[in-house]
Structure 1
Amino acid sequence: MGVPGMFAFLNGMALTNMVLYDRTALGLAFALMNQVVLALILATPPQPRQTWSDHRLTCGRDPQ
């Protein structure tokens, strides 16, 4: 499912929680917090992985 999927799932749970519990302030705060976290995660670009050739360039030798 991955991290964005996990937060989308939590976000759906928060919105369901907000509707079920009569739109309490806690449910609303939880839903909004999840919206912000999800937006931050989706806005963060994935980091490039280091390849073996990068390792040779940075360390000057092949990995053991």
Structure 2
Amino acid sequence: MIRGYTIEEFLGSGSFGAVARVRKHGLDYAMKAFLPGKDDDEFRLEADILSQLDHPGIPAFVQT
């Protein structure tokens, strides 16, 4: 369990971190965990861009 999220399954990994399907309060989320040693500024830029997206086909960004 991470910050109240239950890890349901590992989905994969990308250039900045690993992604898992997690659950909290009956809702499913995709959680990306930052990998140590990667560029912190690039990770923050990716998070900033994702937080601005608003489209029915793209899951909403939730910062934890």
Q: TM-score, normalised by structure 1?
A: 0.34
Q: Which has the higher contact order (CA 8 A, sep 6+)?
A: 1
More strand by share: 2
More helix by share: 1
- Which of the pair has more CA radius of gyration? 1
